[in-house]
Structure 1
Amino acid sequence: MEIKVENGESRNPNDPKLPLLLQDVAIPETQRKTLIQRAMSQTFKSSANLANLLPTGTVLAFQLLSPIFTNEGECTSVSRTLTAGLIGLCGLSCFLVSFTDSFKDKKGNVCYGFATFRGLWFIDCSATLPPEINAKYRLRVMDFMHAFMSMLVFGAVALFEEDVVDCFYPKPTDETKELLTSLPVGIGVICSMLFVLFPSKRHGIGFPLTAN
């Protein structure tokens, strides 16, 4: 059985389908919207996965406190100030934690510390490292780049929270909606590329432990 298509040619239904771009058939508007929605949803999920590059404790604390501080999006002047303070503190936490690192001694104990220009300054133990090993933990310019990107990624994650957006922009204009939709995605794409090109070797507080 052959079926005639719009260009007058006949086609057997058992024949393999042509690629979508080669078919001379217009895509219905509903199907086109579905494709766009799927693409946007996948983009949001990919950008939301950037939270894996942030300290776990900071992200969990923000996700737990933001609905309370924002009153589920119905903010007053007080709750708006509290929400701004929460975002600022969490962003500062992401910045500072980016300079932390960990070391596992011969007994298997994990010690955390801050990276300095001389090496690792331990917080929770009195361990000392040999100079040749401690030199690997020195503070570098790349650490500041990672800390700044962590703050940007956290800002993008915060903009994905509907309660936070409703708190600061209860009645956004069309331009504001477009900006709030595209800005987190742009930050996510750029920061993910930079993290891939310049990966961090730190295993600080809230990040996976080092194998050393």
Structure 2
Amino acid sequence: MSVIAKRPTTTTTNIADSNDAPETPKPRPAPPPQQHSALSQALTGTANLANLLPTGTLLAFQLMTPMATNNGTCDGATGPLTIIFLSILAASCFLGSFTDSFRAADGQVYYGMATRKGMWLFDPEGASGSGGGVVPDLGKYRVRVIDSIHAFLSVLVFLTVAMRDKNVVNCFYPKPEKGTQQVLDIVPMMIGVICSMLFVVFPTRRHGIGYPVTPGPAPK
């Protein structure tokens, strides 16, 4: 007679939480604000070197360079013409760094050139005839040392952009040697990084002709 042993039956019970409401997720702490170093800002600015140039000068460069260089195949006539053309645009970048503007009380924007005594307005009659007391003190817009630094840097930035243009490079170096090609690849990038860092360290508050108008106090 075989004895069949019964296994003890085990009852499984669902262990449910006594609290039916789901747990409220804990709020995550806000991430710390990212601190950008001067080098990272400079590298970011290097990728957008064209933004540091007057828009009119940059537009003229992009439109006229293919015609001035004959699409990169310069000869005895187009070579000197390209040099003159680039020199005029570089002078435009230099002089544009000394221009400034202000918004009068009547809402009109007036442009002028910064001098040692103040701003010389391009349209003084319009500013004086727009109403009494709308023109601010122009003496606070006088030229500063930082303006000369920005003028020099603007010329370097323009030359950097020009050296990266294939039509300009093919015009003066149609078949560069290996060493020359390395210089053309490295030097503009180095100049761009240095200029971008200096633009970060020495920012300008002038709202000149062709430059983006940014909010901020007038030069003191």
TM-score (norm 2): 0.72
The answer for the alignment partner of 1:118 in structure 2 is 117
Paired AA for residue 180 in structure 1: L
Q: Which runs of 5+ in 2 are unaligned?
A: 1-41
Q: Which runs of 5+ in 1 are unaligned?
A: 1-42
Do the aligned partners of 1:99 and 1:143 also contact (CA within 8 Å) in 2? yes
> Cα deviation per residue 1:19-75 (whole Å; 9 max; x = unaligned)?
xxxxxxxxxxxxxxxxxxxxxxxx999635111111000010011000011111111
The answer for the alignment partner of 2:195 in structure 1 is 191
SS in structure 1 of the partner of residue 48 of structure 2: helix
SS in structure 1 of the partner of residue 203 of structure 2: coil
Which of 138, 147, 154 is the equivalent residue of 1:150? 154
Q: How far, CA to CA, are the matches of 1:117 and 1:71 in structure 2?
A: 42
Backbone CA RMSD of aligned residues: 2.3
SS in structure 2 of the partner of residue 52 of structure 1: helix
SS in structure 1 of the partner of residue 168 of structure 2: helix
Segments of 4+ in structure 1 off by > 4 A? 43-46, 128-132
Q: How far, CA to CA, are the matches of 2:47 and 2:162 in structure 1?
A: 10
The number of residue pairs the alignment matches comes to 170
> Cα deviation per residue 1:132-164 (whole Å; 9 max; x = unaligned)?
832321111111110000000000000111010
Paired AA for residue 158 in structure 1: A
Indicate the structure whose relative CO is greater, using CA pairs within 8 Å and at least 6 residues apart.
2
Paired AA for residue 63 in structure 2: L
The answer for the alignment partner of 2:96 in structure 1 is 97
> Cα deviation per residue 1:52-103 (whole Å; 9 max; x = unaligned)?
1110000100110000111111111111111111110000000001000001
SS in structure 2 of the partner of residue 77 of structure 1: coil
TM-score (norm 1): 0.74
Counting aligned pairs with the same residue, the percent is 52
**CA positional deviation for 1:125:** 3.9
The answer for the alignment partner of 2:207 in structure 1 is 203
Q: Which has the larger radius of gyration?
A: 2
